[in-house]
């Protein structure tokens, strides 16, 4: 601790809250702003839910140092620099982390029986004192910047908060109870594989027939769901509720919105991301963008250090804990530091539409209280990079512009995407955030929202991403998704009766289709492709065991499902933005075979490393198309 001299008043001479001059009057009296600036800021405050000081800073009328100096004088407190005089780590036990997070404070140094507590919001300090009770330690405020308070709060309580972030979701709703290297799971896998091999040796035709029947059953499940969603989409006669209201201007006090952007070794993307997010038109005094880094990620940290960070952006470093480095753990950790009543998530490579936050805020204002989540539309900005990026764009357009809207209209569970998600904060906290161990935390959270009685709506606002345009990174990304689908299915099927009770029969079957059948279709795809061999006169096991008529029915349904897939994809890219992809729809049958390889990789990792996060590398392609 340095020899910093503090001139702290005794409690007897400190002005009571009722006698303090308002902050705006302090700023005018001290010459930081003039009367017209104050009137302008107060008029804005009638429409935005932001502190006066933040409004003045966002309008360029006040500096951060000027605000902190005025707050210190208003509350008769000392202004301190936490980086120059570090908070005393021994004071951790004097204030619980939960209170520090709630009131944005950090214990700084002892002064006899009194603890000096650093805060950037001294107007809330009396509430903190009340929480400590009459027998609690005596607290006095000192004023520091909110970024310094945040950084040192993380330094003092980081390990505790990181552990909490990893175990936030109740164990009955999480996969964390699984052992990372479970010998039991591996023995089961070896045993099942041995039984399959033995069955192939003893009864090869019937074994292949049964496997083909399973592939066909899951094909029927997937095809029926796609057909129902497609019909629901093309037969709609009125816009969706979210589509109608997203553009409606309403008179209400605009809330603060926090956006979490997890980053990991993003050498190419971090600087570009800041430029993209700077295009947002939502009032910057209400915007709190948090870039979430993992401890030790010097690549991203160095990239951000070379970039000018606007005042409405902050950086949170997530302490290492239990060798678990996943996106949901980072999101859980950073959520506690957010300021907004709405929590959003974007990915590192995202380019959201500039008015996206306004649309989100408008819809939440008008939506029923049980609408907990708004999911935006995802699209790609590098559609013309190569064949793979074109097919990936067609696949995304099919899902986000046709099938998922149809699924929503059918009232089924919506498996969330990993980005362009916006939540009511109180509901997200009630559900304990994300499962830190699930590699498709988004799909899992979508199921948990539905099980707890909440609704997810689709919002017609687009975020553009970078399409995977290289084969092996595509396989790695898809394997993570498929592994997560399988894990999510296993977690929620621990008690099938409870899942059925929570969702009802229709949504229960929808979950089986979107999770289990999706994985099965990729894994069993070679069995379905074997139908094409019959065109060459090769006898099929189904023909030899169940007869030619059964085989013909299966082949006919397989062909119909393939034609349906092409029709849905053609519909998805029929709009002006994607019409250039129409001819490439016919090449999709050559695109999906990579998914089989991804499924086998996912199955292997499901057995040996279920929590391994196979990160997608960004910044490979430019914004072409």
Q: Select from 124, 2, 172, 147 the least CA-distant residue to 65.
A: 147
Residue 83 is assigned to a structural domain of this protein: no
Q: Which band of pLDDT confidence, cut at 50, 70 and 90, is reported for residue 222?
A: very high
Residue 90 is assigned to a structural domain of this protein: no
Inform me whether the pLDDT recorded for 625 exceeds 50.
Answer: no
Which residue has better confidence, 306 or 577? 577
pLDDT of residue 1: 44
Q: Select from 392, 359, 388, 366 the least CA-distant residue to 462.
A: 359
The percentage of residues in the chain with a pLDDT greater than 90, rounded to a whole number, is 64
Question: Mean of the pLDDT values across residues 412-430?
Answer: 95
Integer-rounded Cα radius of gyration of the chain: 28
| 3-class SS of residue 174 | coil
pLDDT in tens, 423-473: 999 999 999 999 999 999 999 999 999 999 999 999 999 999 988 889 999
Q: Looking at residue 263, which CATH number applies to its domain?
A: 3.90.550.10
Residue 303 is assigned to a structural domain of this protein: yes
Q: DSSP class of residue 500?
A: H
Inform me whether the pLDDT recorded for 53 exceeds 90.
Answer: no
Q: At what angle do helices 298-305 and 270-277 cross, to 10 degrees?
A: 50
Question: Mean of the pLDDT values across residues 260-265?
Answer: 90
Inform me whether the pLDDT recorded for 391 exceeds 60.
Answer: yes
Residue 442 is assigned to a structural domain of this protein: yes
Taking the C-alpha atoms of 98, 102, 103 and 109 in order, what is their torsion angle to the nearest 10 degrees?
20
Do 594 and 602 contact (CB within 8 A), yes or no? no
Mean pLDDT across the chain: 89
Q: Which band of pLDDT confidence, cut at 50, 70 and 90, is reported for residue 619?
A: low
Residue 234 is assigned to a structural domain of this protein: no
Inform me whether the pLDDT recorded for 411 exceeds 90.
Answer: yes
pLDDT of residue 612: 85
Rounded Cα–Cα distance for residues 489 and 175 (Å) = 10
pLDDT of residue 293: 92
Q: DSSP class of residue 368?
A: -
Residue 297 is assigned to a structural domain of this protein: yes
Rounded Cα–Cα distance for residues 437 and 426 (Å) = 22
* pTM given for the model: 0.90
Rounded Cα–Cα distance for residues 578 and 586 (Å) = 15
The percentage of residues in the chain with a pLDDT greater than 70, rounded to a whole number, is 92
pLDDT in tens, 233-257: 888 765 665 555 545 545 788 999 9
pLDDT-wise least confident of 44-53, 116-125, 262-271, 280-289: 262-271
The answer to whether the Cα torsion of 201, 204, 208, 209 is positive or negative is negative
Beta strands at 455-465 and 78-79: parallel, antiparallel or unpaired: unpaired
Inform me whether the pLDDT recorded for 349 exceeds 50.
Answer: yes
| 3-class SS of residue 342 | strand
| 3-class SS of residue 463 | strand
> 589 is written with which tokens?
């049958």
Inform me whether the pLDDT recorded for 264 exceeds 60.
Answer: yes
Residue 492 is assigned to a structural domain of this protein: no
Residue 228 is assigned to a structural domain of this protein: no
Q: Which domain holds residue 420?
A: 254-468
Question: Mean of the pLDDT values across residues 473-488?
Answer: 94
Question: Mean of the pLDDT values across residues 596-606?
Answer: 94
pLDDT-wise least confident of 3-12, 59-68, 481-490, 516-525: 3-12
Question: Mean of the pLDDT values across residues 11-21?
Answer: 52
Q: DSSP class of residue 281?
A: -
Question: Mean of the pLDDT values across residues 80-104?
Answer: 91
pLDDT of residue 87: 93
Do 443 and 488 contact (CB within 8 A), yes or no? yes
Inform me whether the pLDDT recorded for 69 exceeds 70.
Answer: yes
Inform me whether the pLDDT recorded for 387 exceeds 90.
Answer: yes
Do 169 and 452 contact (CB within 8 A), yes or no? no
Which residue has better confidence, 137 or 359? 359
Question: Mean of the pLDDT values across residues 332-359?
Answer: 94
Beta-strand ranges (E) seen in 303-391 are 313-318, 342-345, 351-352, 371-380
Which residue has better confidence, 308 or 278? 278
pLDDT of residue 611: 87
Beta strands at 371-380 and 342-345: parallel, antiparallel or unpaired: unpaired
In the chain, the number of structural domains is 1
């Amino acid at each position: 601790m340095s020899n910093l001299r503090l001139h702290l008043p005794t409690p007897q001479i400190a002005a009571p809250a009722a006698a303090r001059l308002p902050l705006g009057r302090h700023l005018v009296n001290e010459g930081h702003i003039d009367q017209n600036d104050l009137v302008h800021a107060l008029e804005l405050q009638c429409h935005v839910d932001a502190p006066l000081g933040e409004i003045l800073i966002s309008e360029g009328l006040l500096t951060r140092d000027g605000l902190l100096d005025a707050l210190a004088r208003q509350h008769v407190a000392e202004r301190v620099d936490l980086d120059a005089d570090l908070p005393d780590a021994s004071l951790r036990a004097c204030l619980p982390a939960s209170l520090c997070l709630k009131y944005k404070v950090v214990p700084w140094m002892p002064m006899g029986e009194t603890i000096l507590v650093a805060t950037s919001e001294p107007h809330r300090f009396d509430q903190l004192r009340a929480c400590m009770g009459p027998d609690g330690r005596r607290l006095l405020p000192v004023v520091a910047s909110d970024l310094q308070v945040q950084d040192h709060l993380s330094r003092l309580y980081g390990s505790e908060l990181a552990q909490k972030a990893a175990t936030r979701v109740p164990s009955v709703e999480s996969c964390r109870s699984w052992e990372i290297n479970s010998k039991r799971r591996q023995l089961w896998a070896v045993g099942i594989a041995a039984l399959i091999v033995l069955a192939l040796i003893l009864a090869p035709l019937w074994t292949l027939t049964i496997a083909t029947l399973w592939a066909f059953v899951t094909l029927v499940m997937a095809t029926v769901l796609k057909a129902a969603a497609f019909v629901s989409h093309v037969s709609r006669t009125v816009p969706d509720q979210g589509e109608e209201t997203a553009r409606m201007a309403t008179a209400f006090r605009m809330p603060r919105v926090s956006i979490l952007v997890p980053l990991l070794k993003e050498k190419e993307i971090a600087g570009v991301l800041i430029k993209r997010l700077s295009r947002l038109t939502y009032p910057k005094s209400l915007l709190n963008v948090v870039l979430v880094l993992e401890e030790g990620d010097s690549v991203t940290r160095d990239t951000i250090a070379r970039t000018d960070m606007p005042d409405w952006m902050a950086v949170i470093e997530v302490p290492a804990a239990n060798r678990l480095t996943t996106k949901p753990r980072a999101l859980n950790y950073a959520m506690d530091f957010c300021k907004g009543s709405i929590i959003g998530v974007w990915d590192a490579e995202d380019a959201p539409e500039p008015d996206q936050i306004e649309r989100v805020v408008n819809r939440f204002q008008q939506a029923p209280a049980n609408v907990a989540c708004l999911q935006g539309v995802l699209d790609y900005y590098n559609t013309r990079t190569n064949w793979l990026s074109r097919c990936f764009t067609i696949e995304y357009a099919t899902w986000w512009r046709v099938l998922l809207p149809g699924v929503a209209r059918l009232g089924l569970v919506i498996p969330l995407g990993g980005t362009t998600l916006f939540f009511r904060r109180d509901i997200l906290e009630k559900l304990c955030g994300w499962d830190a161990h699930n590699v498709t935390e988004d799909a899992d959270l979508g199921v948990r929202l539905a099980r707890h009685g909440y609704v997810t709506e689709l919002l017609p606002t687009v975020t553009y991403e970078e399409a995977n345009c290289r084969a092996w990174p595509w396989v790695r990304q898809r394997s993570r998704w498929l592994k997560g689908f399988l894990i999510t299915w296993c977690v929620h099927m621990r008690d099938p009766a409870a899942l059925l009770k929570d969702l009802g029969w229709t949504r229960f079957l929808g979950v089986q289709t979107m999770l289990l059948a999706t994985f099965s279709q990729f894994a069993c795809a070679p069995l379905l492709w074997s139908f094409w061999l019959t065109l060459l006169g090769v006898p099929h096991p189904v023909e030899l065991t169940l007869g030619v008529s059964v085989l013909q029915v299966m082949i006919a349904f397989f062909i119909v499902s393939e034609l349906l897939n092409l029709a849905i994809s053609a519909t998805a890219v029929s709009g002006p933005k994607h019409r250039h992809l129409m001819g490439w729809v016919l090449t999709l049958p050559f695109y999906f075979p990579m998914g089989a390889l991804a499924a086998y990789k996912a199955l292997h990792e499901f057995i040996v490393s279920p929590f391994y996060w196979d990160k997608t590398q960004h910044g490979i392609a430019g914004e072409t198309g």
